[in-house]
Homo-oligomer: A and B are copies of this chain.
């Protein structure tokens, strides 16, 4: 996001649009079964898993924007193509704020079993490429929290500054929490999973309300999206916001 776009409305639009990407990516990943060998250490890759190997390869040169945070920053080569230089709207420490370790663990340990069927069809390279798309979209969504924090701080520095100076993490968290909004977000991602994950046919969906399939026919269970946002995505986004704010006056 560039300077001209830094408004709460623009940040909210980015968050809403990212929901679509997350739902699309999960639906695509759900095409394949669990394929757990892709996540086990492999001798051919120096003891790394195929997932880790793929990420380290694929991350090269993809991280130019503050919301694009690498999973393996220590291995990033210099980009071959020059970046066009984003207007700096965030503080310089923003790049140090990363929840990717937590996102990585959550995705592989908690989320994958919830939306893939158990099984192994041998398509490991495809599997980790689809995981990559899911993790990138989730990571982008969570790290947009840096913009959320910056916008909210600029809007009301008098509310945030004393809490930042007092390092009052829980008061900051309270200030950033809007239960009613969070409930709406959960309902919306659930609805998106229901609409985007339906099997579209040319027949009229007789007896189905507004063309929306029953949850059991959806490619990813809509409740998984609601849970993903409730338990992980929104809390991690707020962790990003608090971590950013705590250093905002440095």
Interface positions of A from 52 to 82, Cβ below 8 Å from B: 53, 57-58, 60-62, 64-65, 68, 79-82
Once the chains are docked, how many angstroms separate the CA of A42 from the CA of B55? 25
A232 at the interface (CB under 8 A from B): no
Q: How far is the CB of A16 from chain B (nearest CB, A)?
A: 8
Stoichiometry, copies per complex: 2
Interface positions of A from 130 to 169, Cβ below 8 Å from B: 133
Q: A200 contacts which of B24, B65, B81, B192 (Cβ < 8 Å)?
A: B192
A39 at the interface (CB under 8 A from B): no
Produce 1/0 per residue, A168-211, CB < 8 A to B: 00000000000000001001100110011010111001000011
Segment with Cβ contacts to B, from A92-100, A107-115, A119-127, A238-246 = A119-127
Ranked 4 nearest A-B pairs via Cβ: A84-B122, A210-B211, A24-B24, A192-B200
Can you list 23 contacts pairing A with B, beta carbon distance less than 8 Å?
Answer: A17-B31, A21-B28, A42-B81, A45-B80, A62-B126, A62-B129, A64-B125, A81-B125, A83-B122, A85-B122, A86-B122, A133-B133, A184-B202, A187-B202, A188-B200, A188-B201, A191-B200, A192-B200, A195-B196, A195-B200, A205-B210, A210-B211, A211-B211
